[in-house]
Structure 1
Amino acid sequence: MTCFKMLIDGQAAESLSGKTAVIYNPVNQEPVAEVSLGGREDATLALEAAERAFPGWAETSPWERGKLLSRGADLVRERAEEIARLLTMEQGKPLRYARREIVGSAEALDYYAEEGKRNFGEIVPSSSRKARSLVIRQPLGVAAVISPWNYPVDLLAWKLAPALAAGCTVVAKPSSRAPLAANAFAEAVAEAGFPPGVLNLVHGSGREVGRELVESPISRKVSFTGETATGKEIGEKAARFVKRLSLELGGSSPFLVCEDARIGEAAEACMYRAFSNMGQICISVNRIYVHDAVAEEFADELVKKTGTLRIGDGLDPEVDLGPMFSEAQRQKTKDHISDATKKGAEILYGGLEPEGEKYSRGFFFLPTILDKMDHSMRMMREETFGPVAPMMRFSTNQEALKLANDSRYGLAAYVFTEDMTTALRFAERLEAGSVGINLNNPIVPQAPFGGWKESGLSRERSRSALYDYMETKHIRIGLREEI
């Protein structure tokens, strides 16, 4: 069985302990590969390598950094099929979506290869004729980036790329439960010719490797995507060293369907955003609020469209939905559905595991639509992270806005309406970092992405992410007498 090693100081490295872990396919629980399992000592070695490499990398010009990032993107594209198959086998998503993730990750490298060249400073107006003020931005040091299992390559790429473009060195920790594709991605990027120690990757648990990356005084920035509870813990530990933080945490995205919405388009957009990747997406539709006048029509359309989705092994090109990632995720989904039905919700579609031998060994679950929901139900208060679409009805836009904002989360929100005034009013008042109007994907590379409230801190993507890996410096210059 292939064993994936770590990347420390430019070399493939086994863990100091010699421990390995087996990664299993969620389709059938068969082994895919082994991974070298690091600990705190391995993380320390990687941090020290990144610290040694930082001065030289920080002084490298943005153009040289950009060339390496672009070359890394080319190498990732060359290996896209290989990396995508690893991703499908370890995580479960259909291969065509895995390919899309890998290509998008290469695009992240290309984007910051160019954006890094636009690290503009400022000349600040001075109150004195004998002085001038300049403001510049410089890389802040070693960055620790910790990425999750649901989009293990994409979310790593959108951390790695701005950090490297800014002139930081990096120690990455992919999810210990889905590390293979991320490992292959990082290896491809490193082979572009980055100096030893600039890009490091360590496998292992959050309790050991993650903790060392956060608690070590060497790292000056921590970027984490994952659960809110874990993000809070990281924030507490990082605060001891006043480290820069980027936290992209939990979500509970509302999907508002107004009386004048195009129901067919809204239902299709809702279906894909609720069930893609089996609902295991931070901006997945978690709460659907539909106007009374169109609720029945919307529900019928959503059920009809959901019934066309095909479930199975993600390597099958005909499949739309693979398995869930783990039994724990499936059980949480079942628990939320059970809680909702006990409190009066009605299942319109799904709600159980698919029948048949081909589903017997995997973590499969039918996409599920529920009606007659209310905010006493766990599904409307917590992040299910499963293939559920819970519906609740409203009679006025004011009521819909109040319901949508009644959450401790604020990552994304969606509004479907043909009235642009209504759309803009909702967009301005919804408590979310991203709002999609008449579409189900509010994320683009050139716009900042992140959450309000307990959905996180700081922003990823766009120029905002580049600056989050940099320190701002004011330089005041005294001048001689005028000539």
Structure 2
Amino acid sequence: MESKKYSLRDPSLFNSQGLIGGNWKFAPLGKTFPVIEPSTGDVLQQCADFTKQDFIDAIESAYDGYQEFYSSTTAKERGVILRKWTDLVLANLEDLATILSLENGKTIGEARGEITYAASFIAWFAEEATRSYGDTIPSSYHNTTVLTFKEPVGVCGIITPWNFPAAMITRKIAPAFAAGCSVVIKPPSETPFSCIALAKLALQAGIPGSCLHVVPTKDREASLQLATHPKVKKLSFTGSTGVGKMLARMATETMKRVSMELGGNAPFIVFEDANLDLAVAGAMVSKFRSSGQTCVCANRLLIHTSVVEEFTAKLVAKVEALKLGSGLTEGTSQGPLVNASAVKKVDAHVKDAISKGGILRTGGKAPDTLKGYFYEPTVITNCHPGMAVATDETFGPLAAIFAFTTEAEALALANDTELGLAGYFFSKDIGTVMRVAGKLQVGMVGVNTGLISAAEAPFGGIKESGIGREGSRYGLAEYQNLKTVTIGNIQD
């Protein structure tokens, strides 16, 4: 049964087709796959399911497309197109947020926030397009000048996750277009419709159809063309560390540029001098935003022993005030998880922690009063490194609280992971702030805040959490080649 409990100002934005070679089309033989609405467990809509040959066709078209796009436009003109796209996204915010909430499960407030966040990346790279400067370098040779130029890498394979189905698209393809590249996108099969809607608006803004291809599929072998086809020159992937490693290995066969934003196991440290109300507010944002399904979510809450009980009591009170329900229902503050597997993983982590001495303070089960993929926001104290939650990213609404006594102990616990995406800590002491920020082994640090993601801030990790940076002034360079031109014998 397909869910139809929604209304859109522009129904054409909710499209189940793919975009290849400038044409919206269904898959060969009408093949489709179901997209499930997490709030109900029902089929939201069928989506076109494309083949290996469709990916090859898209790549071939994109290869010709980027060369024409780059040679026929200036950086300023590409910026103008991106600004038009930004305006269209914001003009259609309510429809885009509704689509996102339906397929992902986020509350409508969170969905609106994501669409605004997605638009911010387009706006940012509209401006960065004209700031792609080269250099004039003094040469060590007489009568010689060294120049550098920045050129598009070419066709970019884009593989995005379901947890931010709009923002992860724009954060990757806005800089690609600013640089003059073309893209072939494999959207997440759980949430393909946000990508499709954004692509429709991008075409309206003036992005050439030969430079933007959206190819939904459930066929992993088909999508691997983005990692293996020789005409794809860059691969950008956001997802699990295991899949990222596999794709990176495959991409090396043709020496593709790669950007990998992979898993996290973020520590969230509260020192004894912290403002506890501020720390609890930060934990609520960092842990329970999107029902705990973000790669930068706090996975381990490390709280100083002198304040652990007071912090826990304040956190439990906030958590128990959350209201579970459909993202489109008025008053909902916590939506569902994406699928049944996600619910099972959270429940496994909860049961493992309790079996090993963890104390359940609130939550701890899937509610039996709601249809769909829900799990109660949960807080467990007395956690320790022997539990699964200490080493495995939960990706759900479980706040696991670990106690510590010294800064050295907190840092040892925080850094005891092969991952290094984000970390957070709360302290009023400037010495602690500078010292701990320097010693946390992560790519991004939030100090006295649980919000660290913005278009202007470099996003990315170290260790096994990825390669490269997205957003910021550094994000454009990920889609450019640097060419050196040495001009000799100038005076002859």
Contact 2:62 2:212 in 1 (8 A): yes
Q: Structure 1 stretch 188-197 or stretch 112-121: which is displaced more?
A: 188-197
* Deviations 1:158-188, CA, capped at 9 Å, x for gaps: 0010011011111111101111111111111
Amino acid in structure 1 at the alignment position of 2:324: I
Matching residue of 1:66: 79
Counterpart contact for 2:105–2:335, Cα < 8 Å = yes
CA distance in 2, matches of 1:157, 1:108: 6
How many Å separate the matches in 1 of 2:382 and 2:208? Answer: 58
**Which residue is 1:134 aligned to?**
147
Q: Percent identity?
A: 37
Q: How does 1:11-160 map to 2 (within 5 A)?
A: 11-59=23-71, 60-160=73-173
Cα distance, 1:323 vs structure 2: 0.9
Q: What SS class does the counterpart of residue 190 from structure 1 fall into?
A: helix
Residue number in structure 2 paired with 1:447: 457
2:177 alignment partner in structure 1: 164
Match of 1:178 among 191, 195, 209: 191
Quick one: distance in 2 between partners of 1:89 and 1:326?
Answer: 13
Alignment correspondent of 2:279: 266
CA RMSD of aligned residues (A): 1.2
Deviates further, 96-105 or 9-18: 9-18
Q: CA deviation at 1:138?
A: 0.6
What does residue 200 of structure 2 align with? 187
Residue type at the aligned position of 1:78: A
1:388 alignment partner AA = L
Structure 1 residue runs without a partner (length 5+): none
| SS of match in other structure, 2:255 | coil
Measured after TM superposition, the shift of residue 231 of structure 1 is 0.2
Distance 2:406 2:196 in 1: 49
User: Could you list the per-position Cα deviations for residues 133-153 of structure 1 after superposition, in whole angstroms to 9, with x for gaps in the alignment?
Assistant: 011111011001110101011
Q: Distance in 2 between matches of 1:404 and 1:452?
A: 14
Work out which of the residue numbers 451, 459, 469 in structure 1 matches 2:469.
459
- Please list every run of 5 or more consecutive structure 2 residues that lacks an aligned counterpart in the other structure: 3-13
CA contact 1:96–1:317 (8 Å) conserved in 2: no
User: C-alpha distance in 2, partners of 1:212/1:447?
Assistant: 31
| 8 A contact 1:432–1:452 mirrored in 2 | yes
Q: Deviations over 1:425-464 (max 9, x none)?
A: 1101100000000000112211211011111011111121
* Structure 1 residues 205-257: Cα deviation after superposition (integer angstroms, max 9, x where no partner): 36133211111111000000000000000001001111000000000000000
Q: Which residue of 2 aligns with 1:291?
A: 304
User: Match of 1:248, as an amino acid?
Assistant: E
**What code does the residue aligned with 1:153 have?**
A
Mapped pair 1:226 → 2:236: no
Q: Residue 235 of structure 1 aligns with which residue?
A: 248
Give the 4+ runs in structure 1 shifted more than 2 A: 479-482
- Give the secondary structure class of the aligned counterpart of 2:246: helix
Choose 1-10 or 420-429, whichever is displaced more.
1-10
The offset of 1:384, in angstroms, is 0.8
Match of 1:395 among 397, 402, 405: 405
Q: Does 1:377 align with 2:387?
A: yes
Q: Which has the larger displacement, 132-141 or 22-31? A: 22-31
Q: Deviations over 1:327-370 (max 9, x none)?
A: 000001111111111111111111012242xx0x2111111111
Change (3 A) 1:206 1:148: farther
Q: What secondary structure sits across from 1:462 in the alignment?
A: coil
Distance in 2 (CA, whole Å) between partners of 1:325 and 1:196 is: 31
- Measured against aligned partners, the alpha-carbon deviations of 1:115-138 in whole angstroms (never above 9, x if no partner) come to 010001111111123101011111
Q: Which residue of 1 aligns with 2:8?
A: none
TM-score, scaled to structure 2? 0.95
Q: Counterpart of 1:24 in structure 2: which amino acid?
A: I
